[in-house]
Amino acid sequence: MCYSFVTGKPNNTPPGLLRLPLWGSYWFLLWGNYKFPHETIAYYVKKFKSKIISCYLGNAFVVIVNDYAGIKEVLNRKEFDGRAISDVMKIRAFGKTLGIFFNDAVEWHEQRRFALRNMRDFGFGRRHQEVENNFVEELTVMLDTIDNGPINNSEKSVVNGDLVYFPNILYPTCVNMLWSIMSGERFDRSEHDILRQFCIDASIFQAGGDTTGGATSMTAWLRHFGDIFSWKSFYNAHNGMINFFRMYLEKHGESLTEDEKESRGFMSTYLCKMKNLKSSNEAGFSVDQMLLVIEDFMFPAASAVPTVITNCIKYMMHYPEVMKKVQAEIDHVVGRGRVPKWDDRKDLIYTEATIREVMRIATITPLSVAHRAIQNTKLFGYDIPVDTIMMTNLTAMHNDPDTWGDPENFRPERFLNDQGQLGKDYSMPFGNGKRLCAGETFARFMVFGMFATLVQHYDFSFVDGEPMSLNDKIPGIIVQNPRAWIKLNPRH
């Protein structure tokens, strides 16, 4: 009995790790690397000589795919479109299955479709002149904060002479742009402390555990023991974001006219939709649902985007020869008289290749978001039982020599073809298929604009004692950077 528990697994499934009580194979992943247990997976891929392996996380049977072919297959087949919804995520959703990210109930399709269709009207995921103009204004505010110093005590926490605190300096711009689409409003500079707090909450929401999802996902009763495994921090950060949205509802929710509701941003459009519901099959529209849908769009922009930009800056500091090439290209295409715009992206080829290379080598979502098999199926000859959790190891795929040749080297040129143009991109930092990150286009727009603007204006220097090694990382759903001061030297 004990032997079958430890070694057993469904028939004809991928080779797998042993299983122990309570957390299953998770014990072995922790043994290999406590903070980043996903890195232990590489050991078992080599041991089993298989790019597809299996294990148990708690009571859940899990299949982990680790190469390009396997990950693309999983992300593009409807049999794997389900989500692994833990009790923790249900608690986050007011005890229900709401939102888009951590939901596979029937209404997630409807909510995603409604959100994307209506957010596009306000500039999400497509070219929109007002949004691009607003972005230039936000970039100008960020540059003024860095160049001319703080105007209040809040800004003193991010600018001290020529020292700038990353990623916090990026927070207001990242949130304000998406918030303008959600609400039709932007916070002015004197209120940026509110946006910084929102981003801190978003960062805590995705940190504090580990990259496999953590112990509280497998044993939700641990939440009753204070902040063990950062549960309390996670939940308080979630409430902080929800209260940020409720602040807008309390201010505007009932006072908007019908005309205003159609023009004040996505939240107002959603409220108008709720008011005008006619058919029972649209009963999934509610305030709680709206709050979770908005959170699912906002928290990546508030945490992942600043993380990627900070990674870009860190790699420029460690590879100054690459930074000089990026700066030379920006000087040639854009000059110094204005900030880079979205239209410049097609001509800033090496700059774009550099961003792609950073997102590849410093994958911030190592295991992405887990999927679930919604029916019995097969994957490369293996049987995959219904309800199997499917994990896509993006870090392994982004570091696979079979795909990249020399993945350990930071080399933006790998994204260029023989003609010096951008070639096929085999990386998947935003996933793929129907569950592709809905904010990919907007996130790439933000990362490109902010990174190119910072590199255009400044050189970067290390500050003694600050955690700026490429190995300085904080575990979580996304792998983040420790906050750090960087010296910004204006280019002349």
pLDDT tens-place string over residues 267-297: 888 888 888 775 545 567 888 999 999 999 9
What is the distance between the alpha carbons of residues 176 and 180, in angstroms, rounded to a whole number?
6
Residue range 78-102: mean pLDDT, rounded: 82
Cα Rg, the chain, nearest whole Å:
23
Long-range contacts: 182-188, Cβ < 8 Å, 24+? 182/119, 182/265, 182/266, 182/267, 182/294, 182/297, 182/298, 183/248, 183/252, 183/264, 183/265, 183/266, 183/267, 183/268, 184/122, 184/263, 184/264, 184/265, 184/268, 185/248, 185/264, 185/265, 186/134, 186/138
In the chain, the domains with their CATH numbers are 2-490 (1.10.630.10)
Please tell me which of 8-12, 253-257, 450-454 the model is most confident about, judged by mean pLDDT.
450-454
Residue 237 makes CB contacts below 8 A (sequence gap 6+) with: 200, 201, 202, 203, 204, 205
What is the distance between the alpha carbons of residues 51 and 379, in angstroms, rounded to a whole number?
12
**Residue pair 393/41 in contact by the 8 Å Cβ criterion:** yes
What is the helix, strand, coil percentage profile of the chain, to 5? 55, 10, 35
What is the distance between the alpha carbons of residues 358 and 415, in angstroms, rounded to a whole number?
11
**208 pLDDT above the threshold of 50:** yes
**What pLDDT band is residue 39 in, cutting at 50, 70 and 90?**
very high
Residue range 421-440: mean pLDDT, rounded: 89
**What pLDDT band is residue 244 in, cutting at 50, 70 and 90?**
very high
Cα torsion 381, 404, 408, 453: sign: negative
Q: 422: which DSSP letter?
A: B
**pTM, 2 dp:** 0.94
**What pLDDT band is residue 352 in, cutting at 50, 70 and 90?**
very high
- How many CB atoms lie under 10 A from the CB of residue 31? 10
Residue 360 makes CB contacts below 8 A (sequence gap 6+) with: 398, 404, 407, 427, 429
Q: Is 199 annotated for ligand binding?
A: no
Residue 253 confidence (pLDDT) = 63
Two tokens at 134? Answer: 């607003």
Task: Output the average pLDDT for the chain.
Answer: 90
What is the distance between the alpha carbons of residues 107 and 281, in angstroms, rounded to a whole number?
10
End-to-end CA distance of the chain: 73
Residue range 383-398: mean pLDDT, rounded: 96
Residue range 169-179: mean pLDDT, rounded: 95
What is the distance between the alpha carbons of residues 403 and 396, in angstroms, rounded to a whole number?
11
Residue range 424-448: mean pLDDT, rounded: 90
Residue 481 confidence (pLDDT) = 93
Q: Which residue has the higher pLDDT, 467 or 259?
A: 467
**165 pLDDT above the threshold of 60:** yes
**What pLDDT band is residue 35 in, cutting at 50, 70 and 90?**
confident
**Residue pair 16/53 in contact by the 8 Å Cβ criterion:** yes
- Percentage above 90 pLDDT, the chain: 65
**104 pLDDT above the threshold of 80:** no
Map residue 149 onto helix, strand or coil. coil
**432 pLDDT above the threshold of 70:** yes
**What pLDDT band is residue 182 in, cutting at 50, 70 and 90?**
very high
What is the greatest pairwise CA distance in the chain? Answer: 73
**What pLDDT band is residue 167 in, cutting at 50, 70 and 90?**
very high
**114 pLDDT above the threshold of 50:** yes
Task: Return the bridge partners of 384, or none.
Answer: 377
Residue 119 makes CB contacts below 8 A (sequence gap 6+) with: 125, 181, 182, 266, 297
Residue range 15-33: mean pLDDT, rounded: 91
**42 pLDDT above the threshold of 50:** yes
Q: 53: which DSSP letter?
A: E
Residue 280 confidence (pLDDT) = 45
Least confident segment among 116-130, 326-340, 475-489: 116-130
